């Protein structure tokens, strides 16, 4: 029997889609190992998020609703997660791999003296976790032998849990966090506002590499993205050059994405970039070098100069859209 607790992420009173693969992971785990799937919603004024969480097959949704949890801090959230995990006798504590999960889960694991597997891509019949190593070049089978196990879940590898009729029960969690006693203080959250979809949630992504040569080429990337309602991505070379902000980086040390359609434009397809996007359903590559490694994973490849090919592509899409 292996109860699983999943920490749900939310924003502006709405459950984030990024949590749905972790719900699917939990359902898969309890399907194989027995036990119950529970969700924890922590924050301030999170009633509607908790109601939404009842629609994904959890036996219980634990609601830690308190002013002291209004702004995420690893130090204030950890005791809440640990308390709920202990109360419900969790065998696994999980969340989708996000910036928050990368920050929170190792601390939870340390507090619970739990072994941890990060970026889990599958659960074996024995209840072990599969995860990639060496930029996805090898997969390892991880058996965690501690009574409690912590897992971050690679969102692109589990189909989002489907929404169903509300079921299960909500349980209030009493929160006793003294923010003044913590060694860290929340000052402010500087959000980057964009009309484009979030990289990890977008159905279409247009990514540019060093071949764009900076601003001039990225204007073309932006134009194509806006036409398709897509998110914009970038390689690390682009981010390191300061051409794009680092939250757009796709890859091993950036975001892992798996959209329906991924445009890879003027990027070579280095192994560290492929590690973040090769799960995309359809990959279209435009590169002037026919030997570029990106063509080994592309479904459609165009050997061309992007400064010529992208404007032509934009023009053709505009024609189709206005027809």
Should residue 280 be labelled a site residue for ligand FAD when binding is judged by CB under 6 A?
no
Q: How many CB atoms neighbour CB 183 within 10 A?
A: 5
Measuring CA to CA, which residue among 184, 181, 179, 185 is closest to residue 68? 179
Instruction: Using the minimum distance from each CB to ligand FAD, give the nearer residue, 135 or 179.
Output: 135
Tell me which of 118, 249, 295, 313 binds ligand FAD, using CB under 6 A.
249
Query: CA-to-CA distance for 111 and 153, rounded, in angstroms?
Result: 20
- Measured CA to CA, the distance from residue 67 to residue 15 in angstroms comes to 18
d(CA 72, CA 188): 11
Residue 246 binds ligand FAD (CB under 6 A): no
Q: Does 71 bind ligand FAD (CB under 6 A)?
A: no
Nearer to ligand FAD, 32 or 288 (CB): 288
Query: Using alpha carbons only, what angle is made at residue 168 by residues 163 and 172, rounded to the nearest 5 degrees?
Result: 115
Cβ closest to ligand FAD, residue 57 vs residue 266? 266
Helix 215-228 to helix 306-322 angle, to the nearest 10 degrees? Answer: 20
Cβ count within 10 A of residue 316: 10
What minimum distance in Å lies between the beta carbon of 99 and ligand FAD?
Answer: 14
Taking the least distance from each CB to ligand FAD, the nearer of 61 and 250 is 250
Q: Which among 83-91, 98-106, 136-144, 262-270 is the span making contact with ligand FAD, rule CB under 6 A?
A: 262-270
Phi/psi of residue 77, nearest 5 degrees: -80, -30
Nearer to ligand FAD, 132 or 266 (CB): 266
Residues in 181-240 that interact with ligand FAD by CB under 6 A: 209-211, 235-238
Under the binding rule (CB under 6 A), the answer on residue 289 touching ligand FAD is yes
Which residue of this chain has its Cβ atom nearest to ligand FAD in the complex? 251
DSSP state of 143: -
- 154 binds ligand FAD per the rule CB under 6 A: no
Q: Assess 292 for contact with ligand FAD (CB under 6 A).
A: yes
């Amino acid at each position: 029997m292996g109860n699983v607790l999943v920490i749900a992420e939310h924003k502006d009173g709405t459950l984030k889609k990024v949590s749905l693969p972790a719900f699917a992971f939990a359902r898969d785990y309890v399907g194989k190992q027995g036990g119950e799937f529970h969700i924890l919603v922590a924050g301030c004024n999170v009633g509607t998020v908790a109601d939404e969480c009842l629609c994904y097959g959890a036996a219980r949704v634990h609601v830690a609703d308190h002013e002291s949890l209004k702004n995420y801090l690893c130090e204030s959230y950890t005791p809440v997660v640990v308390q709920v995990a202990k109360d419900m006798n969790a065998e696994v504590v999980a969340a989708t791999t996000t910036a928050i999960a990368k920050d929170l889960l190792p601390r939870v694991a340390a507090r619970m003296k739990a072994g941890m597997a990060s970026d889990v891509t599958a659960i074996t019949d024995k209840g072990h976790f599969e995860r990639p190593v060496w930029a996805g070049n090898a997969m390892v089978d991880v058996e965690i032998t501690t009574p409690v196990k912590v897992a971050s879940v690679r969102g692109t590898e589990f189909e989002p849990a489907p929404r169903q009729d509300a079921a299960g029960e909500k349980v209030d969690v009493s929160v006793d966090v003294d923010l003044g006693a913590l060694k860290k203080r929340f000052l402010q959250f500087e959000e980057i506002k964009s009309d484009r979809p979030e990289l990890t949630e977008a159905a279409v992504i247009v990514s540019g590499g060093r071949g764009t040569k900076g601003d001039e080429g990225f204007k073309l990337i932006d134009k194509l993205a806006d036409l398709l309602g897509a998110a914009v991505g970038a390689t690390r070379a682009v981010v390191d050059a300061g051409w794009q902000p680092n939250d757009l980086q796709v890859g091993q040390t950036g975001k892992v994405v798996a959209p329906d359609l991924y445009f890879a434009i003027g990027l070579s397809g280095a192994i560290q970039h492929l590690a973040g996007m090769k799960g995309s359903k359809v990959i279209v590559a435009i590169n002037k070098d026919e030997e570029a490694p990106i063509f080994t994973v592309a479904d459609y490849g165009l050997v061309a100069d992007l400064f010529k090919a992208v404007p032509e592509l934009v023009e053709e899409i505009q024609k189709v859209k206005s027809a």
